Structure 1
Amino acid sequence: MDWTPSREDFNHYMLPNYNPQAVVPVRGEGSRLWDQDGEEYIDFAGGIAVNALGHCHPALVEALTTQGQQLWHLSNVYTNEPALRLARTLVESTFADKVFFSNSGGEANEAALKLARRYAHDKFGAHKDRIVSFRRSFHGRTWFTVSVGGQEKYTQGFGPVPGGIVHGEYNNLESARELVDANTCAIMVEPVQGEGGVTPGDPAFLAGLRQLADEYDALLIFDEVQCGVGRTGELYAYMGYGVTPDILTSAKALGGGFPIGAMLTTDKVAEVFVVGTHGSTYGGNPLACAVALAAVETIGRPDVLAGVAQRAEIFREELERINAKYDCFADIRGKGLLIGAEFNERYHEQGRATLAAAIKQGLMLLAAGPNVLRFAPSLIIPEDDIREGMAKLDAAIGTLDLTS
């Protein structure tokens, strides 16, 4: 087909549930992208924490190319070597004994929630079905996961939400304590809230949730879809907190850009998912697993993980410099290379406007709500790219109209 699609064609052919920026990227390498007109951009967005090794990393390209010439898909009527290699690597690298593969973080979280309820049902009875989550959390877009997520805007207009789900205040252990009881089957939490504003969990809060789960025979689920696979400087964030969950979900950076999700758990919990209780047509796809294995092995190298903290310090240093110039941020927070810069009252709700202004300067970044700039770049982004990108952000903020 001799046709070059444009941004306007998105409005013509695709549902209006997204509102993408004006440019259409067509090529990427490392931490840089190029659009249809050949304009170059520095990428601080990372595909929303997905492109943890940047664009077209050689190890991932090689894994995809090699596997693409061997075997693409089987379904779970059979197993395959890439899935088994990846599962073994994840088990040997974490607390887990067993792994379930899916296509996305939302599906991994759906599986985790179903597993928690099935475990409680089989071990304690049908009454034990309460799920405790937290306001401003985000766990996916399936009906179950979006209901467990603590943001009403994502459930409005879709009818009654599933029952047995309650929400406490993030980083407030007493709030959680008021909700957890003998009928609780699971406590689900992001060690670092992403969509809710890039807020790191307080160590005492997460440790307290572990104690509550143990006290009431509930399962602790860590949603590490956004903060896992090197993002915080550990392979998974729970390792840095010293708090071990019963179930962990992973996606985004797990595939380095290729769609894949995973749910990790222990033998004790996994045994209730007998044949036929859950499944996924594409879960454990050989292509996805081959790329994910290359991503995990590369990200898990000590030099890559150690480099996260070094790069995060440069980001914070540059954000503080911008703040000193414009007095624009009320808070700069995060963990590793998942960083949020919250605008103060003077720059209230300038997040979307900043994204558009940054594009004009040659920079791609994210927002987390209307008031927080979110940075989730490649874990191996060069220092020069960080500083150049921050100069572009400086210029973009300088163009914002605060009078409208």
Structure 2
Amino acid sequence: GCLSIIDYQGFQDAEAPDMETWSKALNAGQYPLSVLGMTSRAAELYVVGIYGNTMTTNPRALETAIAVLERITPQIRQNIRDKGVEFVDKLKALADELPGTITKVQGTGLLISAEFDPERFTVVGYDKLEVWCRRHGLGVIHGGENALRYTPHFEITSEEIDLIVDITRQAILAFS
């Protein structure tokens, strides 16, 4: 629900940072792009030509970012915050329902992860949790320590969260 550090509680009155990066939220978590914003003072120190990878621009990614940013409304930002809390709560409930499977659930807004017990589950690899979820219709990626990372669209509904949690449950049961 926050596009910038100054949107977080406690930072609204803080001095603006010299630099800030944005990535997942900029393209609704759906298209790879990272952007670096900086003050004019910091820009004077930036050396053109020595940086690469995601900092070399991508016209399609930039068009996607513009389209996403043009659609962000106060209602969508509130949905990101509300559904993020709901999503985390439902994954924690799944961890309670199936003890010893999910060891940690964390997230802010709609960037959420569930870590799995490495003694019982492997997330990454052929025919492991991540691939199983994808083959069963859930666009999920790995991240962190043996974790699935969820980056749903900003207008996600409670029913869609339930579907994602159910597919995660099915994956756990398939590997138990």
Q: What TM-score do the two structures reach when normalised by structure 1?
A: 0.36
Give runs of aligned pairs for residues 1-400 of structure 1, distance below 5 A. 233-240=1-8, 242=11, 244-255=16-27, 257=30, 260-273=33-46, 277-279=47-49, 283=57, 285=59, 288-299=61-72, 301-327=73-99, 328-344=101-117, 347=120, 349-352=121-124, 353-400=128-175
What is the CA–CA distance in structure 1 between the aligned matches of 2:140 and 2:162, rounded to whole Å?
A: 14
Contact 2:123 2:147 in 1 (8 A): yes
Change (3 A) 1:323 1:357: same
Please give the per-residue CA displacement for 1:213-262, whole angstroms capped at 9, x wherever unaligned: xxxxxxxxxxxxxxxxxxxx112245305164211122344345565442
C-alpha contact 1:357 1:397 (8 A) present in aligned 2: no
Match of 1:331, SS? Answer: strand
Deviations for 1:159-206, whole angstroms, at most 9, x for unmatched residues?
A: xxxxxxxxxxxxxxxxxxxxxxxxxxxxxxxxxxxxxxxxxxxxxxxx
Measured in 1, the distance between the counterparts of 2:103 and 2:32 equals 35
Q: Give, in angstroms, the shift of residue 278 of structure 1.
A: 0.6
- Indicate the structure whose relative CO is greater, using CA pairs within 8 Å and at least 6 residues apart: 1
Q: Is the 8 A contact 2:76 2:155 kept in 1?
A: yes
Distance 1:388 1:293, change over 3 A: same
| DSSP-derived class of the 2:159 partner | helix
Distance 1:372 1:290, change over 3 A: closer
Q: For the structure 1 residues 288 and 336, does the alpha-carbon distance in structure 2 shift closer, same or farther, using more than 3 Å as the test?
A: closer
1:364 aligned counterpart, secondary structure: coil
Seen in structure 2, the aligned counterparts of structure 1 residues 313 and 272 have a Cα distance that, compared at 3 Å, is closer
- CA RMSD in angstroms comes to 2.9
TM-superposed CA distance for 1:369, in Å, is 4.1
Figure out how many residues of one structure are paired with residues of the other and give that number: 163
Q: Larger % of helix: which? A: 2
Task: Give distance in 2, aligned partners of 1:260 and 1:360.
Answer: 25
What is the percentage of aligned positions where both structures have the same residue? 25
Secondary structure of 1:271's counterpart equals helix
Name the SS for the 1:363 alignment partner.
Answer: coil
Q: 1:283 to 1:357 in 2, by over 3 A?
A: closer
What is the deviation of 1:398?
0.5
In structure 2, the CA distance between the partners of 1:360 and 1:294, relative to structure 1 (3 Å rule), is: closer
User: What is the TM-score normalised by the length of structure 2?
Assistant: 0.75
